[in-house]
Amino acid sequence: MSSRKNESGRPENAAPRFARRNFLKTSTVAAAAGASLLAAAPAAAQDRAQAPPTDTGGRGRRYVIRGGAVMSMDPKVGDFEVADVLVEGKNIAAVGRKVNAPGADVIDARGRIVMPGFVDTHHHLFETAERAFLANGLLLDDGSGSPSAFPNYGQHILQGFARVYRPQDVYINELFAGLSQLDAGVTTVLDVSQIHHSPEHTDAAIQALIDTGRRAAFGFFEGDGRAGARYPEDARRIRDRWFSSDDQLVSMVMGGELHLGREVYTRSWAIARELDVKIAAHSVGSWGMRPVFDDVAEGIGGVQVGPDNLFIHMTGMSDQTWKRFRDAGAQVSLAVPIEMVMRHGTPPILKMQELGMEPSLSSDVETTMAADPFTLMRSAMSMQRMVVNQMVLDQGEGVPPTNWPTPAKGTPELLNVRDVLRYGTIVGAEHLGLGGRTGTLTPGKQADIVLLDATALNVAPLNSVPGAVVSLMDRTNVETVIVAGEVRKWRGRLLNVDLSRLRRELEASRDHLFKAAGIRRDLFAYS
């Protein structure tokens, strides 16, 4: 093709825009409609701007989400090309075709995909002020002198920014990150907040999770260990003050990092079990953690692994440790994009398949990657398929007639869109001990629901519901978000938040953190 430009700067062989419009105008269809196909939106589309139902999520409050393509993620409930979801109070009351709901308000879901909200099982919400600061960054300096080695996560985030957080920084960072994920359809998160320098830092994090108004597991991890820090013993106070009731959106998980040493982790695990909360821990081979995980798996680390353990990453772990963790009923969260980019090691999806385990998905850090569920699902599926597809190709000679081999017996199955949708919803809910409350559209569970716009320019025409969500959609398609029956995002806009004010507060926090950490702000450096 010619790359010569004409006077208007448009390549000569490109059709000018007016010519295209004339073509559409004179086409049979447009002529029959009597109007240009490029005219403004018809009135019917504007009707969708109506106000949301009021008092949603309140006791006895009923509304029905009508006419959407419903993907329940519960095999017993099934999928429907067109169906209704009745919400009563906080709960899903019914799912099915033509649900009879006299007197209930109606949310018109025609052209929308209705499915459970997404679950992220590992996100460091406090790091929002450093978004994209480490877009190239590795976990640690590898001595290469490259822009990936410096700045890096160990020196600049954990040893740099994290140390200068004040409680008010924790609050605004966590709130902003939470609202951003709510906007993207993530209705449940495990907040791995390693910022507990003092009880005031801890309380700020929990308050932010509550104020966000979505489901969250607050992860009580360590801080920087300064005088006044009370990890892990403060867990008892936290439990009493914040988590005395089970009937609330925010619950508790204990951070039980093994790299803190046996003296600390034996205490944190014991306290977690005394309080009956789950234990989460990072497990990264390239961080040097394989030997200590081997000891724990073998039962000589002073703690016993059980079904209340959620391990994050599990890159580079020994086969024996994997088997023992699986046999003990432990779960694993994978942060696939981060693991690939920051040199944690290859995400162990194939290992989990081999052992009959399913991972939940997690975003980890926005210093380096977006925290929306579409990025997580697509990355997991693409990464696994890259490995397996090459495995299959390598079973041939690369030239006819063996250039397209039939997979040999024992070749891992390709992940499909249903797999990653399950990882991103119900598997995540189960890993956080919330499988009885969320993760599927099941009558009796709480109503954590997203409406995704399948009429949008990047999606229409709708040919596959699971396919469209995983292959085509992004956060712009997340139109309406409901948490425990309450509408939190309505037709593209978060409700009851002053985002301009919150952004100014986050920027002020960011300015403080860079200054106090002695790190220069430069919009074009570090890349």
Site for Zn ion, rule CB under 5 A: 364
For the CB of residue 315, give the shortest distance to Zn ion in the complex, in Å: 12
Q: Which residues contact 75 (CB under 8 A, 6 or more apart)?
A: none
CB 440 within 8 A of CB 116: yes
101 vs 334 by CB, closer to Zn ion: 334
For the CB of residue 332, give the shortest distance to Zn ion in the complex, in Å: 13
109 vs 365 by CB, closer to Zn ion: 365
63 vs 218 by CB, closer to Zn ion: 218
For the CB of residue 88, give the shortest distance to Zn ion in the complex, in Å: 37
Supply φ then ψ for residue 85, to 5 degrees.
-125, 120
CB 68 within 8 A of CB 113: yes
CB 131 within 8 A of CB 490: no
DSSP strand E in 309-427: where? 309-315, 331-334, 360-361
Q: How far apart are CA 381 and CA 355, in angstroms?
A: 18
224 vs 364 by CB, closer to Zn ion: 364
133 vs 490 by CB, closer to Zn ion: 133
Q: At residue 58, what is the residue type?
A: G
For the CB of residue 189, give the shortest distance to Zn ion in the complex, in Å: 12
72 vs 152 by CB, closer to Zn ion: 152
363 vs 384 by CB, closer to Zn ion: 363
DSSP of 423-480: IIIIIHHHHTT-TTTSSS--TTSB--EEEEETTSTTTPSP--HHHIIIII--GGGEEE
Helix (H, G, I), strand (E, B) or coil at 402: coil
For the CB of residue 364, give the shortest distance to Zn ion in the complex, in Å: 5
Q: How far apart are CA 74 and CA 56, in angstroms?
A: 24
Q: How far apart are CA 232 and CA 320, in angstroms?
A: 29
For the CB of residue 131, give the shortest distance to Zn ion in the complex, in Å: 15
For the CB of residue 259, give the shortest distance to Zn ion in the complex, in Å: 12
